[in-house]
Structure 1
Amino acid sequence: MAPTLSDPTALTWAWRAASAAYSRALSAVDGLPAERAEAVLLPTFRAGRRCWDAMIAGSGGRHLPIEIAYEDTTLPGYLLRPDASGRARPTLVITNGSDGALTSMWAAAGAGALERDWNALVYDGPGQQSMLFERGVPFRPDWEAVLTPVVDMLVARPDVDASRLTAYGISQAGYWLPRALVFEHRFVAAVADPGVVDVSASWLRHLPSPMIELLDSGQKDVFNGYMAEVDADPATARTFAFRARPYGITDPFDLFTAVRGYQLRDLADRIRTPLLITDPDGEQFWPGQSAQLAELLTAPHEVARFTAADGADVHCQPLAPGLTQARMFSWLDDQASFLGP
């Protein structure tokens, strides 16, 4: 029998599923030539966000929209709670990657937190979702400027146990979260899925060594000349546009130079927060960097291997969310339990 509108559980699922469907459509649009993409990109994003907001509004007060003070504006956030009692709970702050939707954060960790009687906080940071599509605010490497205001907001709330704050960073947030932890020390523990020491590695591996030499030597015009030839291929041009958009930089030389600044080599040893680092077989974007991050750390840490034999290989273990969350939440709970009841 089909669910009726009087079934709140079915409604929650339906709104979330609709939002996820629009997000998948958005990924098919983003990166198209501007004259084709712009007409449908923002309306598609907004349709998906309206569905998400309808889910939040229909939650009976369990889930709350929150505006997070950030510089001279705000970041949109959502506090997901198991119920509307307002009881203080452990809270997981989920930081998104470069192009995921809120529904992907729900699936990756938000639902798992709720099942364990935790809160979860999801938000759009600079260059992510509404901050990109509606406000045109690009990525930034210094994510402590983003995450510290999030923590400031949470610790002031009576429904958040400020002594049991934890954090999870997925995909490119495997860089952003550890970067923020260099400066932000109020988390009991954190998870980087996977560990990312140098974001630019996923960009530079597509360049031949002579092109990297042009970057190193500052030969901007020559570099851009070669990139113009590469962009003559429509598929390559689309991929480049998709990856470049959230950085807010159109000049290829300037973009590659900026991305090279997203690295932790000189900072990771200053992290104090215990860190779990996932390390799947077949990592496509940052292979070997989870181990590299572990080697740089002086804080307590553990590398969680995920294997093809377990069906848990490749970037962020997409076919094994249950296994990922089982290991992640068990480890986070162990860290938080040191504080006592």
Structure 2
Amino acid sequence: MTNVSADRASGPTRRTTLTGLVGGAGALLAAGCSASPATAPTARRTARAYASASDPTPGVMTLFKDPAFNFNGLLALGGSGFGAAEVGEVLTAVNTVNKAGLSAQTYTETFKSLGDQLRRPPSSGKPEAETTRARMLRAAQYYAQALFFVLGSGTPGIEPQLYQAGRDAWDAFCARCTPPPVTARVPYGKTPMPVWFFRPDSSGKRRPTVILTNGSDGQNVDMWTYGVAAALQRGWNALVYDGPGQGQLLFIDQVVFTPRWETVVTPLVDWLSARQDVLTGKIALTGLSMAGDLAPRAAAFEPRIAALVAMPGVLSPWLGFPPEIREILTPDKEETNRIWNKEVVPGLSPSEAATMKKRIEPFSAPAMLAAREGKMLTDFYTPATLIKSLDITDVVDRIKMPTLVLDYEFEQFYPGQPRQLFDKLTAPKDYVKLTEATGAQLHCSPMAPQQHCEVVFDWLHETLA
């Protein structure tokens, strides 16, 4: 299979590169046993991509002309398969946004209004518990949609309120699950991580467990779509958590990402290992979107993980930025920030500025707080250095547990990196590419999360059997 570099062959200006960046920012803002050194690693299955030169989002998959908005709309629509959206609600919202004129403002207002509507009692009367449960899950989805674009709207300062509305809806949904997830705060530095431990029932039976790791901009509702529901259907436990740079730790506690993700996962494994309803020899770890870098990093240093899934595989999130953005970063902080503030920022359009604010906020609390005031970050050096430090190229060979690397046809954020990660692995490994042939193309298969989960959990079942 041909490797595809994340770098462009041509050399467009910073201005034109930023314009392209805005068009493709959706998802990234929007992922055992020890092998003997004498034993050759095994590569058991490789699924090949279907060749295609057609539009990656044909026909009904084009909700918005702008790729970033379209990608997020597809994520919402895809969540309907697990109850995390309603097709009619999403398409009605899409029509409303398009009729009003697509913008961060109209998108944010429309999906926030939809979330608000679902949190109120339906017009038909007082809802029973299951109706409320279903409505709260969908509300969490729609608030997450609004939250994603709020920094580009006229009211960026409502970001923490939007996050809290989505979190309240999520917690209301969880409280009505049967059984409700066990909630706790697991130690991490000075700021404990909130966790939600889902079980198929309250029997106390020991079960295999999957730790679900979100990406750089996902919310808990995404973990329901990309793992919790599928795990429960198969008799697995599932752990959802907010790590640094995610959810509560980012939007409320202002704790940004760490390059040492093992310091995040190890306390989670400790917590699970102390439970009587967890098969400690069958704890799997998955990483969605940028967590396709974070989860492998953790697995390289946490031997109690029995199986690893990178969705997709990512070696360096920094390479998800165009070369002209990466070139702004120099070894000198003062020079880097001079280039950023004098040469780059003055030329940004409002939409380009909003994209950069969104992409940088999980890596810089000052940048996030400035964005909420409608201001652009002035220190590019610090978050850029942090993003660059997430590179896991030098630790991949430490991964010893069986690993599944997913890739996607038309992967728009980390092209080529899944295969590169797979090739570097020395552990037992599998590579699967989800394709346009079944509507599973694009980063994280936004229109096919059920197929996505089938691939992941079939592999986990076979690997841990």
Give the structure-2-normalised TM-score: 0.67
CA–CA distance in structure 2, aligned partners of residues 138 and 333 of structure 1: 34
Which whole-Å deviations, capped at 9, do the CAs of 1:13-53 have from their partners, x for residues lacking one? 111111112111111213557xx312x11111111111111
CA–CA distance in structure 2, aligned partners of residues 185 and 55 of structure 1: 34
CA contact (8 A) 2:152 2:350 kept: no
Q: State the match for 1:330 in structure 2.
A: 458
Structure 2 spans left out of the alignment, 5+ residues: 1-121, 368-376
CA–CA distance in structure 1, aligned partners of residues 256 and 463 of structure 2: 34
Q: How does 1:131-280 map to 2 (within 5 A)?
A: 131-205=249-323, 207=325, 212=327, 215-216=329-330, 218=332, 219-224=335-340, 225-231=342-348, 233-248=349-364, 250=377, 251-280=379-408
Identity %: 36
SS of equivalent to 2:313: coil
Of 290, 314, 323, the residue aligned with 2:442 is 314
How far the C-alpha of 1:215 sits from its partner, in A, is 3.0
How far the C-alpha of 1:241 sits from its partner, in A, is 0.7
Q: How does 1:12-51 map to 2 (within 5 A)?
A: 12-32=133-153, 36-38=155-157, 40-51=158-169
Q: How does 1:72-87 map to 2 (within 5 A)?
A: 72-87=190-205
Highest RCO, 1 vs 2 (Cα 8 Å, sep ≥ 6): 2
CA contact (8 A) 1:5 1:11 kept: no
Give the structure-1-normalised TM-score: 0.91
Residue 120 of structure 1 pairs with residue 238 of structure 2: yes
Structure 1 spans left out of the alignment, 5+ residues: none
CA–CA distance in structure 2, aligned partners of residues 99 and 215 of structure 1: 23
Q: State the match for 1:97 in structure 2.
A: 215
CA contact (8 A) 1:3 1:10 kept: no
SS of equivalent to 2:195: strand
Which whole-Å deviations, capped at 9, do the CAs of 1:157-208 have from their partners, x for residues lacking one? 112111111111000000000011110111111110000001101113453x
Of 395, 410, 431, the residue aligned with 1:303 is 431
How far the C-alpha of 1:86 sits from its partner, in A, is 2.2
Which whole-Å deviations, capped at 9, do the CAs of 1:70-101 have from their partners, x for residues lacking one? 12331011011111222221111000001111
SS of equivalent to 1:272: coil
CA contact (8 A) 1:32 1:241 kept: no
CA contact (8 A) 2:214 2:289 kept: yes
Which whole-Å deviations, capped at 9, do the CAs of 1:255-306 have from their partners, x for residues lacking one? 3232111111111111112110111110010000001001111111111111
CA–CA distance in structure 1, aligned partners of residues 233 and 294 of structure 2: 26
CA–CA distance in structure 1, aligned partners of residues 393 and 178 of structure 2: 46
Task: Output the aligned Cα RMSD.
Answer: 2.0
User: What amino acid maps onto 1:17 in structure 2?
Assistant: R
CA–CA distance in structure 2, aligned partners of residues 116 and 161 of structure 1: 15
User: What amino acid maps onto 1:278 in structure 2?
Assistant: L
Residues 312, 68 of structure 1: alpha-carbon distance in 2 compared, 3 angstrom cutoff: same
